Each structure stands twice: as C-alpha cells, then as structure tokens.
Amino acid sequence: MMKLVISACFLIAVSSVASEARPSRNLQAPGCNITMPCDFSYPQARRERAPRQALQAYRATQMTMTDAGSRATTISVSGGDRVIGGRPAGCPSSFCGCGAALRVFGRIVPELNLAANWLRFPRTAPAPGMVAARRGHVFVLEQHLSGDMWMAYDANSGGHATRMHARSLRGYTIVNPRA
C-alpha cells in the first residue's frame, strides 16, 4: 500500500512539472518548412528597428473635419509633435498638473499637482488659456484647430516630456482656472 501511495505522489509531481513546460521558440526563418528546410549556411539578416524619423513620417496624417455648417477643414496632425522640454524643476514625477500650473499661473501650486484637483475650478466653454481636466491628466488649451481638436500645452504627455500637440477634448472637462 505504501508503494502505491509513493508512486502516486511521484506521478503527480512529475505530471505537474510537465504541465508548466513552455513551448520552445522556433528559430527557423519564416520561409523554412518541411518541404524546403533551411540549412543556415548563408549569413542571417538582422532585424533592425526603423529609424525614429521614418516612424514620425509614417505617423503624420491629415484629418478632415466638418463643423455644424458642413464646412470641411483639413488639418495636419504630426505624430512627431513638438517636444518643449521634460519635467520642470520642483515638480513631482507625475507632473502634468504641476506643468499646467506653471503655464497658467507662472508658479508651482502644490494643491494642483494632483490632476483631479483641477476639477474644483468652475466649468466653462473651451477657449485659449482654459484647462482640460480629468482624473489622471490635465493640459492647457492654446489654440482651436477644428471640432474638438485643440493645440495643447501638455506636460507629461508621454515619455516624461512636455509637448505642444493636437489633442481631442473627448473625455475631458473644461475648467477656468482664473475664475
């Protein structure tokens, strides 16, 4: 009876180890298969990342937007938006609220480092100098482009950079920080 219990435990241990096995990576070139095997006697081409300029040129798009009067406007939105700088001195690592306060008030306002605190300001219509806020992110409206697209001063807009770029107002509440 003891041999049976020990052998059962051994089988369970062995089968649990086998269930955690991961498939091995296939190191063959995509053109290799059973009918045309690869011998790898020729030099292998290395995969390289596309240069950043090529990616930015690929991302550059034109958007055609219509307003309520059915007037069509074409705007160019570049994927390589203009990077203005990084994290301002004295701002925390999540610095969108701090950067917006510097842009609007010219100084750091510690209570506004938290993006959700911008929602305490009174609601208003979109206009230059107003702030688009939601829990988790804020940016300052600079210039209306078309529809709900605005050129925005956007601190901590990705990659710990501050950018001037086109942003949609969808999902954001517009507030007047000067009221």
- Give a three-class secondary structure readout of 147-171: CCEEEEEECCCCCCCEEEEEEECCC
pLDDT over threshold 90, residue 77:
no
Closest to 174 measured CA to CA, from 145, 140, 149? 140
Is the entire prediction scored with pTM above 0.75?
A: no
Whole-number percent of the chain with pLDDT over 90 = 45
Mean pLDDT along residues 65-75: 42
Mean pLDDT across the chain, nearest whole number? Answer: 75
Residue, of 19 and 102, whose pLDDT is higher: 102
pLDDT over threshold 50, residue 61:
no
pLDDT over threshold 80, residue 168:
yes
**Tokens 């999902």 label which residue?**
171
